[in-house]
Structure 1
Amino acid sequence: MSYLTTELISHARRVRKLYKDAARMTQSYYHDRHLFRYHAVLLRARFDEHKEEVDMVKIKKILQEGERELFLKQHPQPQKFANSAGGVAFGREQHSPDWLLDTWHPLEKAQYPEYFAKREIRKKEFIERWEKKYGSPEQDLH
């Protein structure tokens, strides 16, 4: 349920998000670099018009109008990065869990001796940190 808002978002963060989303939407409409840069400069000028505004009621209204305008002017097929959510390669690459390396045969591990030596040291450090923070499992049983 990552679409639910679970924290307060500051005004500055909302403005930055609006600017970034508007720039990405502009990029979806204008594929040629020179056209996109021209419209990005115009977009930045629109944001700079209101950067010195101090009346919070007016600022909030401007921000809401900007978010509404962005929503109304959405591109039907916005550009997405290939590996980001909604992209053509999203979720395509399977990430193997770390414990899978423990199942390797010793001859396979021998091909990468430095890596597995460092990995064993890091595993011991992790276990020590865990036991320092939560205690060892043997202590809990007795």
Structure 2
Amino acid sequence: MAQLPVVGLVSHTRKVQSLYKRVLRCLEAWYDQREIYRYQAVLMRKRFDDNKCISDIRISKKLLALGEEELFQKNHWAPRKFPEAPGGVAYLREVLPPDWVLDYWHPLEKAQYPEYFARRELRKKEFVEMWEKKYGRSTQLGHH
């Protein structure tokens, strides 16, 4: 029997990993020179590694809360965002061309893909037949 996943339950390890990634993104926003960013990232990794062997969960949770607070205090005022990520400049800007654009291809362009266009013409013909069967033939030729 399959079990349903528990929604909203995140382990302490995943929280620490998420904090580490967000800290590195914050450092990346503050330091634009790669070598300075890398130096700061190594120092931050050392801070995380110093506390990885703590087995007391109360101390671990306290350190995690302090890390979240420090990240909040030192967060960059204009963090970097990837262009296609939510909040980025190109988010949801992918324009998908409509199908009728292929009808205006030059015959030499269509000749490069003969099997595809033969199948496409067959499907267009089947679609027109299905349309006429369902809705009837158009009465006016110049009507749009």
Specify the TM-score bucket, using the shorter chain as the normaliser.
Answer: 0.5 to 0.7
Question: Does residue 84 of the first structure (1) align with residue 85 of the second (2)?
Answer: yes
* 1:72 positional shift: 1.5
Percent of pairs with identical residues: 48
When residues 40 and 114 of structure 1 are mapped into structure 2, their CA distance, relative to the original with a 3 A threshold, is: farther
When residues 71 and 109 of structure 1 are mapped into structure 2, their CA distance, relative to the original with a 3 A threshold, is: farther
When residues 115 and 57 of structure 1 are mapped into structure 2, their CA distance, relative to the original with a 3 A threshold, is: farther
- Distance in 2 (alpha carbons) for counterparts of 1:79 and 1:89: 13
1:35-69 deviation line (CA, Å, top 9, x unaligned) = 00010001101100100000000001101111111
User: Where do residues 33-48 of structure 1 align in structure 2 (5 Å cutoff)?
Assistant: 33-48=34-49
Unaligned stretches of 5+ in structure 1? 1-5, 117-142
* 1:109 positional shift: 8.6
- Distance in 1 (alpha carbons) for counterparts of 2:17 and 2:115: 44
- Distance in 1 (alpha carbons) for counterparts of 2:84 and 2:50: 35
Letter in 2 for 1:82: P
Structure of larger gyration radius: 2
The answer for the alignment partner of 2:139 in structure 1 is none
User: Where do residues 90-109 of structure 1 align in structure 2 (5 Å cutoff)?
Assistant: 90-94=91-95
- Distance in 1 (alpha carbons) for counterparts of 2:14 and 2:115: 44
Question: Does residue 75 of the first structure (1) align with residue 76 of the second (2)?
Answer: yes
TM normalised by structure 1 equals: 0.65
Aligned residues: CA RMSD = 2.9
The answer for the alignment partner of 1:3 in structure 2 is none
TM normalised by structure 2 equals: 0.64
Q: Helix, strand or coil: the match of 2:51?
A: coil
- Distance in 1 (alpha carbons) for counterparts of 2:44 and 2:111: 57
User: Where do residues 1-142 of structure 1 align in structure 2 (5 Å cutoff)?
Assistant: 6-94=7-95, 112=113
When residues 114 and 22 of structure 1 are mapped into structure 2, their CA distance, relative to the original with a 3 A threshold, is: farther
- Distance in 2 (alpha carbons) for counterparts of 1:91 and 1:26: 27
- Name the count of aligned residue pairs: 111
When residues 53 and 89 of structure 1 are mapped into structure 2, their CA distance, relative to the original with a 3 A threshold, is: same
- Distance in 1 (alpha carbons) for counterparts of 2:116 and 2:48: 50
The answer for the alignment partner of 2:120 in structure 1 is none
